[in-house]
Amino acid sequence: MTTLELNLGEGEVEYGKIMLKPTLAEIQQGINGPCKIMVKGTQVLLQWGCDREGDPKLFTSWYSRLASDKDVVKQVLLLSGCFFGVAQSIMEFVDRFKIYEYLWQYDMAEECKDFLSNEPSLELIDDQLAKLDTLEKQMKEMGNTVIGVVKVVVGHFQKQIIHLISKWKEEYTKGLLDDVKATLADLGQWMRSVTMQLGGSFMNLEEVQAAMAIIHTIREKECVIDWVFLTLTLILTLTLTLTLIGRKV
């Protein structure tokens, strides 16, 4: 049985494309080479009972006999068709992994930046991360596959994909934490500004009215502040979970 190893080819970039080692072309060459040698040998191997003392032009080689034997030709065609069928099945198996291509084809930093720049809701963030979790789960459940006389080994490919998924999760974690930091900075600046405005003495009616207006603004923004802190808490919980998962990976 021939063993093929599925992996991401290393080229000018860290990850190139899904490849097989050895390739199907190399396997075909490995089969064709010995066959050509055998066929070439039959061209000079005379049939038994041939008169070797006569005219060499009249000698009959095994090649002519094999080439004219319908059963031999039939078996050769069957073997060729069998290999072609196995090759097609292997490529169909490899095509199943195209859903992972974006992991190495796209710039994860730019993709995460674009996604977070649209201020996605927690549901969208959770959906995005759930997609990565689903891909990771599917990859971990993937095992070696036997197709005809060929065994496709996916162990190395599994490690590469799981590593890439962890990198994407880390990128999302970094982006979420940066957003949390920026939001807290803006909120802290607003709170300091309000504190300074209410920190003075109120000596006349205008100053009291101004203070009451500030308090009214605080009350109006109270629900917004509660929502911001709730959102930040959920995001921090999510990023902590991603960090712990990343460490396990």
The per-residue pLDDT for range 4-20, each reduced to its tens digit, is 676 655 433 344 566 67
Domain parsing of the chain, residue ranges: 2-248
Q: Which of 85, 215, 195 is nearest to 150 (CA)?
A: 85
The set of residues, in sequence order, having a beta carbon less than 8 Å from that of 63 and lying 6+ positions away, is 39, 42, 43, 45
- Polymer length in residues for the chain: 249
Q: Is the pTM of this model over 0.75?
A: no
The more confident residue out of 224 and 74 is 74
Tens digits of residue pLDDT in 162-195: 888 888 988 887 887 787 778 778 888 888 888 8
Percentages helix, strand, coil for the chain (3-state, rounded to 5) are 75, 10, 20
Q: What is the pLDDT of residues 23-69, one digit of tens each?
A: 667 776 776 677 777 777 777 777 776 666 666 666 677 777 777 77
Question: Do 4 and 151 contact (CB within 8 A), yes or no?
Answer: yes
